[in-house]
Amino acid sequence: MDHPQTLEQEHASHVTPTRVSVPQAQVPQALTKLALVLPTLHEAGNIQTVLQRVRASLDPLGIPYEVIVVDDDSRDGTAEIVHAISECDPRVRLLVRSNARGLGGAVVYGWERSEAEIVGVIDADLQHPPELLPQLWKAIESGADLALASRYAAPGGLRGWNLARRGLSWLAIWMTQPLQKPEIRVKDPMTGFFLVRRTCIRDITLETQGFKILLEILVRGEVRSAVEIPFSFGLRKAGSSKAGLREGLNYISLLGRLWRDAYVPWRTAQTARNDLHR
């Protein structure tokens, strides 16, 4: 059955969310707004819990926010669950992409359909703890351009990862070091849980393939300050990982493009200096 790209899905019979009233008087329009994207593909087993925990973490902050679930046409009940919740809480939005795949593309798709000043992303598989959101928001409120949940900032960690997986993760991060700006170099440029000011990415066109969107923002964006909040990467509660050979190849391709973008201006500047000394 095809899902429309609106909220017109049928109610899921097994979802009984509590209606949430959000009077305009309780959401001052002068406050900075947050748009948090949850990209999903076959996350019916996790989505209700993660949305509950996200809202429970954001509500005490007293800020205007929207949680945008961008589903890649899962057809496993994910869209129906989100739709039922959105009927009770208008801050939860559902967008369904047809004939499209990819975490990076889903994140960009959601950000482009919001006018919030602060945008962010969190995985829907519960490996990212939503309870970290208040700390990320506090860092942004304190003036940071970017706040990220970091597995490599002490005392963060990688629970349940074997030696081979840890080694690949370390290698992938090591390859980013020459690309990162020295003044804002972070320990975990590969994390998929972060908040960023829209002004920092307004003038760049983000890649829609692959899943390491933060690295591109750090290299190409106008980020002047970043704060890392440590956390321990959890284990998936349900469903299966979307990472695989294709995502690995996409990452290598992205690295190649970022290296090219960094090398060409350097080479041009070097040539210009050599010409001046002739």
Q: Report the C-alpha dihedral over residues 59, 96, 188, 165, rounded to 10 degrees.
A: 120
Which are the contacts of 164, defined by CB distance < 8 A and separation ≥ 6? none
Give residue-wise pLDDT tens across range 94-153. Answer: 999 998 888 889 999 999 999 999 999 999 999 999 999 999 999 999 999 999 999 988
Distances (CA, A) of 126 to 82, 97, 147, 238: 16, 22, 19, 9
Structure confidence by residue, pLDDT tens digits, 18-45: 454 444 434 444 579 999 999 999 999 9
Query: What is the DSSP code string of 56-123?
Result: HHHGGGT--EEEEEEE----SSHHHHHHHHHHH-TTEEEEE-SS---HHHHHHHHHHT---SEEEE--
Token pair 């205007």 is found at 64
pLDDT, the chain, mean: 80
Handedness of CA 109, 38, 9, 236 (dihedral sign): positive
Residue 70 has pLDDT above 60, yes or no: yes
Structure tokens at 244: 């695989």
Domain regions of the chain by residue span:
24-244
pLDDT given for residue 200 in this prediction:
97
Please state the rounded mean pLDDT for residues 154-160: 70
pLDDT band at 257 (very low <50, low <70, confident <90, very high): confident
In CATH terms, the superfamily for domain 24-244 is Spore Coat Polysaccharide Biosynthesis Protein SpsA; Chain A (3.90.550.10)
- Does residue 195 contact residue 146 with C-beta atoms inside 8 Å? yes
Element (H, E) at 203: none
